[in-house]
Amino acid sequence: MLGKKITSICCIGAGYVGGPTMAVIAQKCPHIRVNVVDVNPQRIADWNSDNLDELPIYEPGLADIVKSTRGKNLFFSTDVSKGIADAQMIFISVNTPTKTYGVGKGMAADLKYVELCARQIADEAKENKIVVEKSTLPVRTAQSIKTILEANSSDVKFQVLSNPEFLAEGTAVEDLLEPDRVLIGGDQDEDGLEAIELLSEVYANWVPRERIVQTKLWSSELSKLTANAFLAQRISSINSISALCEKTGADVDEIARAIGADSRIGSKFLKASVGFGGSCFQKDILNLVYLSHHFGLPEVADYWEQVIKINDYQKHRFSKQIIDALFNTVSGKKIAILGWAFKKDTNDTRESAAIYISGQLMQDQAEIHVYDPKVTKHQMIKDLVYAGYGNEESISEKLFVHEDAYSASDKAHAIAVITEWDEFKTLDWTTIYDRMLKPAFVFDGRNILDRSNLTEIGFDLRSIGKG
Ligand code: NAD
Ligand code: UGA
């Protein structure tokens, strides 16, 4: 269809996926010009900032890659039309949040941004193009994209591929440089297979061929939702067992080690926690639940919905445990929250358990004192307002943000560790203990603290899944 190798790529959406993914493609494919475009001018200005600390996304190793490629073959721009017109291959990497209105509200993926991209591609394309779904999408979305493209453009031919992204935040660069697999789905006719091959050639610049998995379009789209559902299911499974551990005196970390040693189960994603967060697990499972209902499969929908229910239960259990331990009230008490990001090594806070836990405690009139190495106060307030815990003014009265863990926990009644930032493991816990009110409670929502050390110091330490 294109009849030649790819030398120009455009990516619509300069977010957590578009930015790092394109930076790595640019680094590994110096012969390809990579244009990342976005409607958000601030985001683009931040990607273009001279100060690499100001990149809109924090990921270990990312700034160095951007530094070595930006202005050479990697460009960030707000000119979406030109980006589309100049490229042979266009990645759609825009957000696909859960719908907040109308049919499918609270469940289905909101595809309005994807649809806008498809319409704009149809308007701007003057030559044949390969359109790549990088965003996570419901199965059969490619059909809708094709319909829009074909209905709005008569002379130009399009191929739509599905190439879902499996990177995890905090390890995005590592995951992109050495992916377990790259998945490419497309039509199985001559043009479809040619398009699959052209995209495979791009990745083959650094990914071993045997890790490039080629499938039918629908298998690729559904594999992405399935992968996230399986990963989240493991966390909910171990978290459900953590509740049982607390009742029986069993230790959830020992159980994870024991079952993970079985090669059929494997050891990854068995870390009990205060609940999974992040922009995708919940949204993608809700989407899977919605699709199952849509296709008349209520038993399948109920099965996957339980993964979300256990996650909500886990977050609720944690905040209730804090209130119960603090003599049934946190009113007027100072609670230090260590960590706001949904996991370590990222500044992303979407669906972070910290929002829910802090919101619950604030509703019980606690004073919340937070320290996170990467998240700003502005972001925390935004998160709490968005989650419905009050307005900016009411939240600002109860939320205090600190420069370090020592100041956050000074005269605190309790500390809750929500994010597993490495620095929390090596804090001077004796100093923290001396400055706290007694009894000094620590709720370790990640099971990262040294139990014998903290209990010896005098803390009343409550960990997840340890009776
Ligand atoms: P994001 O919100 O960080 O970025 C999306 C960007 O798209 C925003 O900057 C937004 O301004 C831009 N955008 C929206 N509509 C646009 C339009 N019409 N034209 C130009 N720009 C537009 O989102 P993200 O985290 O990068 O996720 C993107 C997709 O990738 C989602 O479908 C998500 O499910 C999937 N995904 C995310 C991750 C992750 O770790 N965040 C991993 C794998 C897959
Ligand atoms: C997840 C998947 O791991 C990626 O493969 C996928 O591409 C991505 O979603 C996506 O589609 O957005 P991400 O959400 O960035 O990546 O991070 P994870 O490492 O999966 O962690 C998700 C949440 O689960 C975090 O809150 C983490 O702390 C929690 N978690 C993870 C646990 O509680 N226990 C574990 O054992 C592992």
Q: Tell me: the pLDDT tens digits for 219-232? A: 999 999 999 999 99
Q: Are 467 and 248 in contact (CB under 8 A)?
A: yes
Q: Are 384 and 363 in contact (CB under 8 A)?
A: no
- Distance CA(80)–CA(2), nearest Å, equals 21
For atom 29 of ligand 2, the residue with the nearest CA is: 276
Grade residue 153 by pLDDT with cuts at 50, 70 and 90: confident
- Distance CA(420)–CA(271), nearest Å, equals 11
- Is 176 a residue whose pLDDT tops 80? yes
Q: What is the mean pLDDT of residues 331-356?
A: 97
Report the predicted TM-score, pTM, of the whole model to 2 decimal places: 0.96
Any ligand 2 atom below 6 A from CB of 93: no
- Is 1 a residue whose pLDDT tops 80? no
| Bridge partners, 76 (sequence order) | 36
Q: Are 120 and 198 in contact (CB under 8 A)?
A: no
| Bridge partners, 369 (sequence order) | 336, 400
Ligand nearest to the CA of 141: 1
- Is 197 a residue whose pLDDT tops 70? yes
Out of 84-98, 147-161, 269-283, 416-430, least confident range: 147-161
- Is 2 a residue whose pLDDT tops 90? no
Q: Say which residues have a Cβ less than 8 Å from residue 247's Cβ, sequence separation at least 6.
A: 467
Which 3-state string (H, E, C) describes the chain? CCCCCCCEEEEECCCCCHHHHHHHHHHHCCCCEEEEECCCHHHHHHHCCCCHHHCCCCCCCHHHHHHHHECCCEEEECCHHHHHHHCCEEEECCCCCECCCCCCCCCCECCHHHHHHHHHHHHHCCCCEEEEECCCCCCCHHHHHHHHHHHCCCCCCEEEEECCCCCCCCCHHHHHHCCCCEEEEECCCHHHHHHHHHHHHHHCCCCCHHHEEEEEHHHHHHHHHHHHHHHHHHHHHHHHHHHHHHHHCCEHHHHHHHHHCCCCCCCCCCCCCCCCCCCCHHHHHHHHHHHHHHCCCHHHHHHHHHHHHHHHHHHHHHHHHHHHHCCCCCCCCEEEEECCCCCCCCCCCCCCHHHHHHHHHHHCCCEEEEECCCCCHHHHHHHHHHCCCCCHHHHHHHEEECCCHHHHHCCCCEEEECCCCHHHCCCCHHHHHHHCCCCCEEEECCCCCCHHHHHHHCCEEEECCEC
- Cβ atoms within 10 Å of 250's Cβ, excluding its own: 15
Give 265-318 pLDDT, tens digit per residue: 999 999 999 999 999 999 999 999 999 999 999 999 999 999 999 999 999 999
Grade residue 155 by pLDDT with cuts at 50, 70 and 90: confident
For residue 467, the model assigns a pLDDT of 78
| Ligand 2 binding pocket mutation candidate from 96, 238, 269 (most atoms within 8 A of CB) | 269
Q: How far is the CA of 168 from the centre of ligand 2 (A)?
A: 6
The more confident residue out of 348 and 154 is: 348
Grade residue 377 by pLDDT with cuts at 50, 70 and 90: very high
Rounded to the nearest integer, the mean pLDDT of the chain is 97
For residue 426, the model assigns a pLDDT of 96
Q: What is the mean pLDDT of residues 238-247?
A: 98
Any ligand 2 atom below 6 A from CB of 273: yes
Give 396-448 pLDDT, tens digit per residue: 999 999 999 999 999 999 999 999 999 999 999 999 999 999 999 999 999 99
Q: How far is the CA of 169 from the centre of ligand 1 (A)?
A: 13
- Distance CA(241)–CA(232), nearest Å, equals 14
- Is 54 a residue whose pLDDT tops 90? no
Ligand nearest to the CA of 41: 1
Q: How far is the CA of 19 from the centre of ligand 1 (A)?
A: 9
Q: Which sequence positions are flagged as catalytic? A: 165, 224, 280
Return the ligand 1 atom nearest residue 120 CA. Answer: 18
**Residue 439: cis peptide before it, omega within 30 degrees of 0:** yes
- Distance CA(438)–CA(326), nearest Å, equals 11
Ligand nearest to the CA of 133: 1
Report the chain's C-alpha Rg in angstroms.
24
**Which protein residues touch ligand 1 with a CB less than 6 Å away?**
12-18, 38-40, 43, 80, 93-96, 113, 116-117, 135-136, 165, 167, 169, 279-280
| Ligand 1 binding pocket mutation candidate from 94, 141, 349 (most atoms within 8 A of CB) | 94
Grade residue 85 by pLDDT with cuts at 50, 70 and 90: very high
Give 11-36 pLDDT, tens digit per residue: 999 999 999 999 999 999 999 999 99
Any ligand 2 atom below 6 A from CB of 20: no
Ligand nearest to the CA of 239: 2
Give 131-143 pLDDT, tens digit per residue: 999 999 999 999 9
Q: How far is the CA of 80 from the centre of ligand 2 (A)?
A: 30
| Ligand 1 binding pocket mutation candidate from 169, 279, 284 (most atoms within 8 A of CB) | 279
For residue 3, the model assigns a pLDDT of 66
